[in-house]
Amino acid sequence: MLKKLLTFFLFINFISCSIFNQQYYENAYKEYSDGNYQTALYYLDEIIKENENVYEVFVLRSKVNLKLGNTEQAEKDIQRALELHEGYDAHFIMGKILFDKSDFSNALYHFSQSVKLNPKFTDGFLNRAYTYYKLNDFEKSIEDYEKVHELDPNSSVVFVNIGFIYGLTGRNDLAIEYYSKAITLNPNDFNAYYNRAGEYLTQRKNKEALTDLLSAYELDNKNTDLLFLIAETRTKLNDYQNAFNDYTKIILIDSLNSLAYYQRGLINIELKREKAACDDFKKAGELGYFEAYEQIKKHCSKKPPMKKKK
C-alpha cells in the first residue's frame, strides 16, 4: 500500500511541475512579445533551474538575450537548443548571430540547415540570399531571392535586391527590369524608384532618372541627399530654375548645409544672378566650404570700372 501511495505522489508531483513550467513559458512568451525582456528572462531562468532539457525554452531565452544585447549568452542558449533538437528556428537564430559577427561561411551553413528542415521558411532563404551576397556569390544569391518570391509573391523587396545585384555586376538593363517589377508590385517602394534612377543615370537617361527621383521624393520629401541628386539631374538637363528651387529646399531643411549654398551659387551664375551667387558663395565659405572662395575670386572680386577724368 505504501508503495502505491508513493508512486501516486510522484506522478502528481511530475504533473504539477509540468504545468508550472508551461505556465511560466507562456508568461515568458507574452512578456517577450510585449517587449518586457527582463521579466521574460526571469520566467525562463526559473524554468531552466527546474529543467535544462526544454528546446523551446532555450530558443526563446536566446531571442530574449539578443534583445537585451547579451549576444554571448544568446549564442550559448541557441547552442544548447541545437544539442537538444535540430530545429530550423534554432539554426536560423544561430545563423543570424554568426552573420552579425561577420562569420558568413558558418552563418551560411546554419541558414542552409534552416531551409533544409523547413523548405517553406521565407526568412531562411532571405537571409541566406544576403549571406551569399556578402560572400560575393551573386548567382546563388539571386537564386535564393527568386525562391523567396515563389514563397511570397507580393514582396517587392526581393526584386529590389535582385535589381541591386544586377546593377552591381554591370547588368544595368536587368537591374532596371527588376526595379520595374518591384514598382509594379509596390508603387510606394522608395528604394525601387531611387535605385532605378541610379541605373538610368548610369545610362545617361537623365529624363527617365528625374522622373524616378521625383517619384521617390513624393515618398520622402525631407531627404536632402535625394534633393541634391534631383538638383544635379535638373542641372544636367539645363533646368536651372528648378535646380535653384531644389537647393533652396535643402537650405530650408538644413540651414547649415554649406554644399547647398555653394551649389546654389553655381546655379545663380548660370541664371546670370551674380550678386545672389556671391552671397551664396560667401555663406558657403563661412560654413566651412572653402572651395567657395575660389568662386568668390572668380566672380565676386571684380573692381568697378574707373571713371574717366573730365
In the predicted structure, residue 7 carries a pLDDT above the cut 60: no
Nearest residue to 75 via CA among 57, 89, 96: 96
| pLDDT tens-digit readout, 154-212 | 989 999 999 999 999 999 999 999 999 999 999 999 999 999 999 999 999 999 999 99
Residue 93 within a domain: no
Q: What's the structural domain count of the chain?
A: 1
Average pLDDT rounded to a whole number, residues 40-51: 95
CA 83 – CA 309 distance, rounded (Å):
101
Find the domain containing 261 and state its range.
221-298
| Structure confidence at residue 235 (pLDDT) | 98
| Structure confidence at residue 301 (pLDDT) | 76
In the predicted structure, residue 231 carries a pLDDT above the cut 60: yes
Q: What is the mean pLDDT of the chain?
A: 91
Residue 238 within a domain: yes
More confident position, 127 or 306:
127
Residue 190 within a domain: no
Indicate the range of 30-34, 92-96, 303-307 predicted with least confidence: 303-307
Residue 277 within a domain: yes
Q: Read off the pLDDT band of 302 (50, 70, 90).
A: low
Residue 243: which CATH number?
Answer: 1.25.40.10
In the predicted structure, residue 17 carries a pLDDT above the cut 90: no
CA 13 – CA 9 distance, rounded (Å):
6
CA 61 – CA 120 distance, rounded (Å):
25
| Structure confidence at residue 13 (pLDDT) | 36
| Structure confidence at residue 14 (pLDDT) | 34
More confident position, 175 or 8:
175
In the predicted structure, residue 300 carries a pLDDT above the cut 70: yes
Residue 244 within a domain: yes
| pLDDT tens-digit readout, 238-295 | 999 999 999 999 999 999 999 999 999 999 999 999 999 999 999 999 999 999 999 9
How many Å from the N-terminal Cα to the C-terminal Cα in the chain? 138
Residue 174 within a domain: no
| Structure confidence at residue 257 (pLDDT) | 97
In the block, cell 535638373 appears at 234
Residue 87 within a domain: no
Residue 3 within a domain: no
Average pLDDT rounded to a whole number, residues 294-307: 74
